[in-house]
Amino acid sequence: MTFTNNGYLPHTIVGQDGSWTTGTLGPTQVKTVIFERAGSYLYSSKEYPWSYGQIIVVPAANGSRAGAGSQQDQAALDQQSMKNLTVTPK
């Protein structure tokens, strides 16, 4: 998944379980995080903990690597109150 900071303030996106982070993203900065396994990944902004979201990664149809790149997977991306952050499947 690619995280893009579209705002004017920094955002540090952190997995709820602490297993991943984007590091601090300044305005216009971009970071890609790869999720190797199918599952549900909850996240929030370290600076603004009321901003949170969920990424759902589904198994690839051919049994290879898990993926989140199709139009259907995009619909599974649940983003809550992250108005200045864009999250797109890679």
- Residue 46 sits in a domain of what CATH number? 2.60.40
Write down the mean pLDDT value for the chain: 77
Number of domains observed in the structure of the chain: 1
pLDDT at residue 81 above 50? Answer: no
Specify the pLDDT at position 59: 82
- DSSP codes, the chain: -EEEE-SSS-EEEEETTSS-EEEEEPTT-EEE----S-EEEEEEESS-TT-EEEEEEB--TTSSS-B--SHHHHHH-EEES-TTEEEE--
Q: Which domain holds residue 52?
A: 2-88
pLDDT at residue 60 above 80? Answer: no
The pTM of this model reads 0.70
